Amino acid sequence: MVPLLLVLLLALILFGAGFALEALWWIAVIVLVVWLLGFFVRPAGTGGRRGRWYRW
């Protein structure tokens, strides 16, 4: 009985980790797309010249 519970617990942990990693990959892709768009769509900076869309 205990080995069966351990296997079920391991399956739940691996399923949860797989879901979390999948979600993190999608978040990373969205951040990458926003970052790349920032290079093409730059807002006007101070003094009438075009500036960076980020501060760092």
Model confidence band, residue 51 (pLDDT cutoffs 50, 70, 90):
low
Cα radius of gyration rounded to whole Å, the chain: 22
Helix H, strand E, coil C: the string for the chain is: CHHHHHHHHHHHHHHHHHHHHHHHHHHHHHHHHHHHHHHHCCCECHHHCECCCCCC
Q: Which two tokens stand for residue 56?
A: 């760092």
Checking if the pLDDT of 47 tops 80, the result is no
44 - beta bridge partners? Answer: 50
Residue-level length of the chain: 56
Q: What is the pLDDT of residue 41?
A: 72
Q: Which residue has the higher pLDDT, 2 or 56?
A: 2
pLDDT digits (tens, 9 = 90+) for 7-45: 888 888 888 888 888 888 899 999 888 888 877 776 555
